[in-house]
Amino acid sequence: MKRIAHVYINGAFVAPHGTEIFTLINPVTNQKTGEVVLGDETDARAAIAAAKQAFKTFSATTREERIAYLQALKQAVSKREKELVDVMVAEYGGTLQFCRMSVQYTISNFDAMINTLQQFGFERTMGQSVVRLEPVGVAGIITPWNASNGFICSKLATAIAAGCTVVIKPSELSAAQTELITECFHEAGLPKGVINIVNGLGSVVGAEITRHPDIAKISFTGSTLVGKTIARAAVDTMKRVTLELGGKSPNIILADADLQQAIPMAVSGAYMNNGQACIAPTRLLVPENKLEEVNALAKAAVQEVIVGDPADERTNVGPMVSQKQYERVQQYISTGVEEGATLLAGGTGKPEGLEAGNFVKATIFTNVRNDMRIAQEEIFGPVLSIIPYKTEEEAIAIANDTTYGLAAYISSGSEERARQVAARIDAGRICINGFSHDPQAPFGGFKQSGIGREYGVYGLEAYLEPKAILG
Ligand code: NAD
């Protein structure tokens, strides 16, 4: 049985001051796999003090030194690639297919940030003045469990590029993944205090990071609810905040799209990371006169989806991260039925033979109206809603009729037509004819999907404070 009983402060693994025990549960079996001793406010304050001390010298490092640190981090993380995949699969039930891709993205974050840094102007002339972009200070990094190390590495790479030191609080559900990535960071050998990592509850360690006056900026990825709590508390010390929050992303199938291609892709996209992805295209908008054809294609596609053991190469959908999350998804499936949507596939209950774990049936609702809760609220499970529309105007209106605005997807036979529609969608990232990733392009949400952007130049500027020098 695994027991994790340290936090990482000032370049060393140390016993936490906190004593609360958090139990680690395997989502495939619901058996206990280990426990973690959580850090508390005192641990958070020690980590913040170490980061504050290290900031004095780290903020003055050169571009070349920061690039060398990023290369060392990349090398140390790359060396453990296979273990990083395995621990993701084991800890929260991400599928092997997804976790392999996720760890590759995790590693690519360092190269992408090196690229950005190489070309970045830290000093610019504007009007009569010189504008210097200076590191904002100690950054607090708070992350969710659904691709824990990916978020940690992308935020850390950006902070390092800016010359900021960090205190990281990962999700309490990701302790085993955190332990491994911490070992990688330790091996990379950055100066003491630049990277500090404290396991702990959001309401304890996360709240201390949010309120502490020596934290200048918070980069948070997680739910909209917690994002709002952090934003409210952060304002007392006027922290800079970058918030990457929830989503309910539309996938608009235009009338001229190739349905044979677009619909199976839409189904598998909605189930990415077991449906636990902020950018998952969970609202499928289709022309009303093609609804029957779409339903048949979606039904055929869902029959090919394998729900099961995440460690099996063939599995497309693994378990929900926790029993609580399983129950939440079940509630939403019941709500969809009560609201009068038509259940096309799946439904409540566990798939046969998978009763021990937090498995949900791959579920599709059709004839969904956009005002239903299953179309408006983030379910965070393998549940797709098919929503018919009459005209392209109506499709755009439905796509935008949400409090979220993280991502959107458009399929069309004409790229130009898709781009015209993209121009009218309120979302931070729009993919045309498929799913793609670009670590240089800004990532973040419109509306209640967040504040600010990550990745590339926009991401880096969010860790910098402009100082204009006049005269
Ligand atoms: P969550 O909001 O419950 O928790 C995220 C982190 O915040 C955890 O580390 C948690 O311990 C911490 N936290 C909780 N309460 C806190 C508080 N009061 N103060 C400070 N920190 C606190 O989210 P989750 O369940 O871990 O992750 C799922 C959510 O994350 C979904 O809503 C999903 O859409 C969102 N998400 C967004 C993105 C994005 O890039 N926009 C990416 C992945 C996940």
pTM above 0.85, yes or no: yes
Task: Identify the CA nearest to 416 among candidates 397, 399, 433, 429.
Answer: 433
Tell me, using a 6 A CB cutoff, whether residue 278 lines ligand 1. yes
| pLDDT tens digit sequence for 48-103 | 999 999 999 999 999 999 999 999 999 999 999 999 999 999 999 999 999 999 99
Please report the atom of ligand 1 found closest to the CA of residue 207.
19
Distance (Å) from CA 142 to ligand 1 centroid: 8
Pocket test for ligand 1, best of 40, 171, 243 (most atoms within 8 A of CB): 171
Distance (Å) from CA 170 to ligand 1 centroid: 9
Tell me, using a 6 A CB cutoff, whether residue 158 lines ligand 1. no
Distance (Å) from CA 144 to ligand 1 centroid: 4
Tell me, using a 6 A CB cutoff, whether residue 94 lines ligand 1. no
pLDDT at 417: 98
Tell me, using a 6 A CB cutoff, whether residue 171 lines ligand 1. yes
- Give the whole-angstrom CA distance, residue 305 versus residue 318: 11
Mapped onto helix, strand or coil, the DSSP state of residue 389 is strand
Q: Which two tokens stand for residue 55?
A: 């900031």
Residues noted as catalytic:
244, 278
Tell me, using a 6 A CB cutoff, whether residue 135 lines ligand 1. no
- Give the whole-angstrom CA distance, residue 132 versus residue 115: 20
- Give the whole-angstrom CA distance, residue 433 versus residue 409: 7
Q: What is the DSSP string of 5-69?
A: --EEETTEEE--S---EEEEE-TTT--EEEEEEPP-HHHHHHHHHHHHHHHHHHTT--HHHHHHH
Distance (Å) from CA 348 to ligand 1 centroid: 26
Mapped onto helix, strand or coil, the DSSP state of residue 296 is helix
User: Distances from the Cα of 170 to the Cαs of 53, 153, 182, 220, 406, in angstroms?
Assistant: 22, 11, 11, 10, 22
Tell me, using a 6 A CB cutoff, whether residue 459 lines ligand 1. no
- Compute the radius of gyration of the chain from its Cα atoms: 22
pLDDT at 1: 86
Q: What is the DSSP string of 137-202?
A: SPEEEE--STTHHHHHHHHHHHHHHHT--EEEE--GGGHHHHHHHHHHHHHHTPPTTSEEE----I
pLDDT, one tens digit for every residue, the chain (471 residues): 899 999 999 999 999 999 999 999 999 999 999 999 999 999 999 999 999 999 999 999 999 999 999 999 999 999 999 999 999 999 999 999 999 999 999 999 999 999 999 999 999 999 999 999 999 999 999 999 999 999 999 999 999 999 999 999 999 999 999 999 999 999 999 999 999 999 999 999 999 999 999 999 999 999 999 999 999 999 999 999 999 999 999 999 999 999 999 999 999 999 999 999 999 999 999 999 999 999 999 999 999 999 999 999 999 999 999 999 999 999 999 999 999 999 999 999 999 999 999 999 999 999 999 999 999 999 999 999 999 999 999 999 999 999 999 999 999 999 999 999 999 999 999 999 999 999 999 999 999 999 999 999 999 999 999 999 998
Distance (Å) from CA 223 to ligand 1 centroid: 4
Please report the atom of ligand 1 found closest to the CA of residue 200.
11
Please report the atom of ligand 1 found closest to the CA of residue 443.
40
Q: Which two tokens stand for residue 185?
A: 């960071």
Tell me, using a 6 A CB cutoff, whether residue 37 lines ligand 1. no
Please report the atom of ligand 1 found closest to the CA of residue 229.
18
